[in-house]
Copies of this chain bind each other. A is one copy, B any other.
Amino acid sequence: VISIREVAKRSGVSPSTVSRVLSGSARVDDSTRKRVEDVIRETGYRPNINAQSLRSRSGQLVGLVVPDTHETFATLIHYAEAEAYRMGHALIVGNPQGDPEKERHLIADLLSRNVDAIIFSRVSDASHVADTFRGRRVPIVAIDRGIETEDVPSVQLNNVAAGRMVAELFLKGGHSDVAVVMGPQNIRLARERTQGFLETLAAEGIRVPAHHRFEGPFEFQAGVEAAQRLLRQDDLPTAIWAQCDPVGAGLIREFHAAGVRVPEEVSIVGMDDTAIALMVYPRLTTVHQPLDEICRRAFGLIRTQIEADHDPAESHDPVHLRIEPSLIMRESYRDLTE
């Protein structure tokens, strides 16, 4: 483990010159540069990032805080890692696991590491998190499941539009007897999906009766249970929207087990367009959430904030980006009018 002083000594220059070669920030004589570069290559020297961070107050680090590790978040991690790498940063991943104490720790830890930005999804106690950040000039972006405060930039799917698209599909397809399996309604994005869905139907005079509304976690099992309750009721709807794909998969599986044919007897539409949608039979018609784009835009905001930080005059109100979903037609849905 060799230091910049050692490299300087071996190439007969001062540490500052080595530093200049490394950063390319200042003019260095060609022959000197060459000599230094040779030594760097020979010795395999790598600057100590902790020392750099201490000086520069930038940890070359991006923090990502996710609420769980379901597929959506695994995908998020995937894209975030790629984006972070592209900007020469490392990615720290933290998962509060629903523990506000851990969440506070994680964020405090990120801050004391001089992260250059924090991306997070649904943090449990929005106000407190905002407090932690107040006064800190760390770019933050809320992604996917936004927090409730509006003073932090965010990038999210247009969840209202997602609900609307499914409702419009049902309307156009002649489905007037529909059901919905909602995500937890204390999560904002689930509320928005529900709102877009129900309001669009209501505008055409279609109501979803209480016994056709189900609420549960974003998990396969929630779909299974909704299907079971639906089957017991014996006035099956002709179309069901599940607010995430695993729930849609649960519906399909349980209907299959009960001998109810999809989509002949009941159409099922999912949400998010995750891998599971392609694995069920029939494959799930669903709404695509472009996580790659969401991530890219989030890092775009981060870069903007970092630049604005260099030039504090340029501080704007927080930006809130809405990414548009799109409908993916597969085999689990059919029009009644066909």
Q: CB within 8 Å of B: which residues of A?
A: 1, 46-51, 53-54, 59, 69, 71, 73-75, 77-78, 81-82, 85, 90-95, 97, 102, 105-106, 108-114, 136, 220, 246, 249-250, 253, 256-257, 275-276, 278-281
The answer to whether A279 and B257 have CB atoms under 8 Å apart is no
The answer to whether B95 and A82 have CB atoms under 8 Å apart is yes
Answer whether A69 and B74 are a contact pair too, CB < 8 Å, given A54-B54, A82-B95, A94-B91: yes
The answer to whether A78 and B85 have CB atoms under 8 Å apart is no
- State the majority secondary structure of interface residues on A: helix
- Most B CB contacts (10 A, CB to CB) among A50, A109, A113 go to A50
Q: Which residues of B contact A106 (CB under 8 A)?
A: 85
Answer whether A78 and B69 are a contact pair too, CB < 8 Å, given A50-B59, A53-B50, A253-B279: yes
Q: How far is the CB of A282 from chain B (nearest CB, A)?
A: 9
- Most B CB contacts (10 A, CB to CB) among A48, A82, A91, A278 go to A48
- Most B CB contacts (10 A, CB to CB) among A69, A71, A105, A276 go to A69
The answer to whether A78 and B95 have CB atoms under 8 Å apart is yes
- Most B CB contacts (10 A, CB to CB) among A78, A102, A246 go to A78
Q: Which residues of B contact A97 (CB under 8 A)?
A: 82
Alpha-carbon distance between A182 and B222 when the two chains are bound, in angstroms: 33
Q: Which residues of B contact A78 (CB under 8 A)?
A: 69, 95
Alpha-carbon distance between A281 and B53 when the two chains are bound, in angstroms: 53
- Which 4 A-B pairs give the minimum distances between C-beta atoms? A74-B74, A69-B78, A50-B53, A46-B112
18 contacts between A and B (CB under 8 A): A48-B112, A50-B113, A69-B77, A74-B77, A81-B93, A85-B102, A90-B92, A91-B92, A92-B93, A93-B93, A246-B279, A249-B279, A250-B279, A253-B279, A276-B279, A279-B279, A279-B280, A280-B280
Q: How far is the CB of A237 from chain B (nearest CB, A)?
A: 21
